Amino acid sequence: MAKLNIDQKTVFGLFSDKRSDFLIPDYQRPYAWSQDQCATLWDDIVSFAIPEDNEHGFDEGEEYFLGPIVTFRNASGQLEIIDGQQRLTTLLLLLRAFYARFIHMQDERSQTTRERIAQCIWKTDEFGKPRQDQLKIDSEVASDNDKHEFLEILKVGEVSNEHNSRYAQAFKFFKDEIGNFIEKYPDYTARLAIRILNNLILLPIEAESQQTALRIFSTLNDRGLPLADADIFKSQMYKYYSDKGEKDDFITRWKQLEETSQETFTSSRNPLDELFTRYMYFERAKQGIRDTSTIALRDFYEANGYALLKQDETLDNLESLLDFWIRVNNQEGFDEPILRKLYVLGHAPNNMWTYLTSVYYLHNRDADGNLEPKSFEKFLRVITAFIWAYSIIRPGVNALRTPVFPEMIGITRNTPVNFENHRFEATAVDAQYRNYQFTNGRQISKSMLVWWAFQDADQKLLDSDLKLELEHIYAKRRAQFEDGLIRKENIESLGNKAILEKKINIRASDYRFADKKSHYLGREAKSEQARKGTANAELRKLAASKEDFVEKDIVARNEQILHMFLKELNDCGLLAN
């Protein structure tokens, strides 16, 4: 069991400890506290330390808890900060602002408090005298161009008008607030500072290793984004490129990678982790790994001392892979048939297609990052048909690993993707389709209907950010008040459902078909009554050709979808002979 050193401490107790030598490691994020956050902390502290503007109303036994600090002691003996970086940085800037103000205050209490603050900011000699060239904290944050300004502020206690980093803004804010406090309560100032030192409480948790500290942080953190695996990877790559003398170039490339990933993988909590995950499957495939119990992302890249991250081609490949997914998201750089298939895959029942496609792209791209169109189109068609069918036969993304992982390996060995060992029996697909409950809550329902919509050659490509919902052509409300359905379950069959833009679905959902038609087709008029119809080509055709949509139409359309889907599986070579 991992050993933990946990001991509640005051601000003074934590920082003045001889063993306190903090390091903000290179993989951490830059300082991010705004002036509003600093103001909230300041107001809370003042209200706590000087309750109701009465310094004598304070109970010395009261405590104000600031939160945990998670660290581990690295090979150099420093306490690397995993959680609490923002709080520790802010506290040190606050203490340095007090120290700077106390220079001009000669009373005994102020000078005594100043000496105690000095023990928190600087290391001390054996007599307790501060060594003002040795701070209690250092920063190596790779993506923080202002870290040297932070350290300089702690050393000299001054900022110029040209300094506009978040560190400078926080320091100036605290210094101004302390100045205002001195003018209003000159006799309270030392008491305020000493109560910050003695009554503000932190919970330092020192783990035995970085991995343990990160695990603790992930468990404790509920205040924002936890430290991502990619932050650790950045640390390793930063060291590698720094040793090569390419530190600045790496920082620029990493920043671009980070910003673009956030724009591209918008649904992911940690976009860069998503990029590294997609790349991991390519490296797994090259290594011939078939094991379906995938190890954690960090554990994969940690192998052999993070050897994979210390290769020039890794960053090149990550940039190329990200560029590919940018083009997919932006619907550009591909032929129309490919864009249509990518759009359908964008509504897949799970994310496995993104990993499979990432492997295909990285192995088959040319020097310019392009793919041979016809081969790529065929690949997309095959994986769509397979994933859709497998999701009906054996629901669950984990089940897909068994047939997909060998295909990933095959891609890196130039073997066609054909799922040769996992082909379907037509009778099994037919039976499962008929018995499957395609409820609106199941993603495969929308997946099937998006696929079906694009079987129509007249269906135009839709914007990737268009919000689609599932429409009951024969309205559920209609079924409640009419006896038009012999089999009530037909109301939820795919034959009665279609994709429809959210705004139109809201307007059309409860109407009879005769009324729905105007919503599907829209209304052309040179007035405020004009209304855009649906972009679903099939629904427009139904509205133009039918006066009503009844149960026999549901049954016929359901059979048509099933027939076309079985034909697609057969054409893709996915049905057993």
Domain coordinates in residue numbering, the chain: 4-220, 229-420, 443-571
- Residue 451's pLDDT is 98
Average pLDDT over every residue of 539-554: 94
Which amino acid belongs to residue 447?
S
CB atoms within 10 A of CB 306: 17
Supply the angle between the helices 166-184 and 85-102 in degrees, to the nearest 10: 50
Which of 371, 538, 378, 550 shows the shortest CA–CA distance to 458? 538
Kindly report the pTM of this predicted structure.
0.76
> Is the per-residue pLDDT at 197 higher than 60?
yes
Rg of the chain in Å (alpha carbons): 31
**pLDDT tens string 262-297:** 999 998 888 999 999 999 999 999 999 988 887 789
Give whichever of 22-31, 37-46, 555-564 has the largest mean pLDDT: 555-564
Tell me, what's the pLDDT at 462? 96
Reported as a single tens digit per residue, the pLDDT across 446-477 is: 999 999 999 999 999 999 989 999 999 998 88
On the question of pLDDT at 222 being above 50, the answer is no
Mean pLDDT in residue range 49-61: 69
**Whether pLDDT at 128 is above 90:** no
**CA dihedral for 183, 184, 190, 196, sign (positive or negative):** negative
Phi, psi (5° rounding) for residue 68?
-80, 155
Strand pairing report for 79-83 and 64-73: antiparallel
Map tokens 């054909």 to a residue. 418
Average pLDDT (17-34) is: 89
For residue 511, pLDDT beyond 90: no
Q: Is the pLDDT of residue 526 over 60?
A: no
What does the pLDDT read at residue 227?
65
Closest CA to 449 of 497, 413, 392: 497
- pLDDT of the residue at 512: 86
Instruction: Give the separation between CA 502 and CA 506, rounded to whole angstroms.
Output: 6
Q: Which helix (H) or strand (E) holds 196?
A: helix 189-199
Q: Does the pLDDT at position 56 exceed 70? A: no
Arithmetic mean of pLDDT, 205-222: 72
Nearest to 35 by CA among 153, 170, 129, 136: 170
Pair 281, 358: CB distance under 8 Å = yes
Burial 319-328 (b: 16+ CB within 10 A, else e): bbbbbbbebb
Count Cα neighbours of 185 within 13 Å in the Cβ-side half-sphere. Answer: 17
Q: Kindly tell me if the per-residue pLDDT of 223 is higher than 70.
A: no
Nearest to 286 by CA among 322, 313, 326, 323: 313
What are the pLDDT digits (tens) for 404-446?
A: 999 999 999 999 999 999 999 999 999 999 999 999 999 999 9
Report which of residues 59 and 233 the model is more confident about: 233
Q: Across residues 158-171, what is the average pLDDT?
A: 89
Yes or no: say if 214 and 82 are a contact pair by the CB < 8 Å rule: yes
Mean pLDDT of 18-44: 91
CA-based max dimension of the chain: 96
Average pLDDT in the 493-517 region? 87
Which residue is listed with tokens 């990493």? 254
